[in-house]
Amino acid sequence: MKTYGQYIREENGVPELQAFEYLRFYEAHIHPYEEFLIDDKSRRLYQGITAAEFMHSHREGFLDLVRPILDDARLSRLQEELEAEGKQVCMFNLFILALFLVERGRSRYVILLKPTIRETVDALDHVTKITFTNRDGSTVESNSGKLLQMVLETLEAQKESDAGDYEVERVTTWDEFANNSVLQSYFVHDLTLFLHRYFPVKRKKDAQISTKEVELVMYLLKLFGLAKEEPTNKRYWQLMKLHEKTDHPVTDIGRFDLGGEERLIPMHLIPYRLWSKGKIDWTDTPPGVEIKEGSTIRF
C-alpha cells in the first residue's frame, strides 16, 4: 500500500506521519459550525468540540494508535479495496477524524426545557395527593380533595397560557440523553460528506460514496463503540434518513455561563416530553422546539 508515504513529512529532520490532514480538511470544507451576525460581525459558533480543543485534549499524541490500526486486518483489506477504486485512504488520518466526529457528536450542546403547563396537565392521571416544596427543601403534602380539585381546575384553565413561553431546565450535551441512533446518524452523515469531498472520484449512479466506503463507515461505527455489531448497508441508509429528519438549521443563539466561562452556543431547545423519559432517538418525533417570533425563553 502506497498511501502512508504521502503523509510523512520531516519535522526538524525527523520523519513524522501527519495525523491531522483529514481533520483540517473537514474543519475547512465541511463547516462544523453555524455563522451568526453578532455586533455587526460574522462569527462562527461551533457545534460541540472544535478541532483545536480536540487536538489540545489529545496533546499526548496518537502514536499508540498506529500499530492497532496497521494490524487491523479489516481496515487493511478495506484500504486495499478503496485504493483499487482510486482512493488513497490514510487509515491513520481517517481514524483520528472519526474519533473527532464521535467526540463532537457527544459534546454538542442542547437546552432542556421544563414542562409546560399543558405537558404537566397531560401527564396527570387520577391524582391522589399534591406536594409543595419550601425554599429550604422541606415539603408539605396534601390529599385534600378540595385542594386537588382547585389546583387541577386552575391548571386546566391555564394550559394554553404558556404556549411559546419556555423555561430552561438546564444546558447539557447530547452524550447525556441522545439515543445512540442520533449519534450514529451524525457520525455517518459527516464521515460520508468527508469521503465524498476529499475523494472526488466518479461513483456509481452519482452516489455520495461507494459500497466499499459504506462498509468502511459501518465498520468504524462498531470500532468506536457506537454499535455492538457492524451494521448492514441498509442501516446506513436508515441513518442518513434519520439525519435528514433531525438536522435542522439553528436560528438563534444563547449566552451561557458554562463552568465559569461565558459562551455563546446555538439554541437547540428540547421539550420536556422528549427528554424526560430518558434516552431518545427522535425516530418518530420532531427534534426540538422551533423558536418563533414572539416566543420567550426564561432561564
Map out the domains of the chain as residue ranges: 19-111+171-275, 117-161
Identify the pLDDT of residue 1: 44
pLDDT in tens, 237-295: 999 998 888 777 677 787 777 777 787 888 788 888 888 877 776 666 666 666 666 66
- 130: DSSP letter: E
> What sections of 224-285 are H helices per DSSP?
233-246, 272-275
pLDDT digits (tens, 9 = 90+) for 113-130: 898 888 788 888 888 999
Q: For residue 82, is it left (φ>0), alpha (ψ between -120 and 50) or beta?
A: alpha
* Residues 148-173: tens digit of each pLDDT: 889 888 888 877 776 777 888 988 88
Whole-number Å distance between alpha carbons of 184 and 221: 7
Query: Of 35, 27, 89, whose CA–CA distance to 54 is shortest?
Result: 27
Q: What whole-number distance in Å separates Cα of residue 28 and Cα of residue 159?
A: 47
Handedness of CA 270, 285, 280, 211 (dihedral sign): negative
Pure H helices in the chain:
21-29, 51-57, 66-71, 73-84, 91-107, 117-123, 145-158, 174-177, 180-198, 211-223, 233-246, 272-275
Give the global pTM: 0.80
Query: How far apart are the C-alpha atoms of 106 and 136, rounded to whole Å?
Result: 35
The predicted pLDDT at position 160 comes to 74
Taking a C-beta distance cutoff of 8 angstroms, is the pair 187, 194 a contact?
A: no
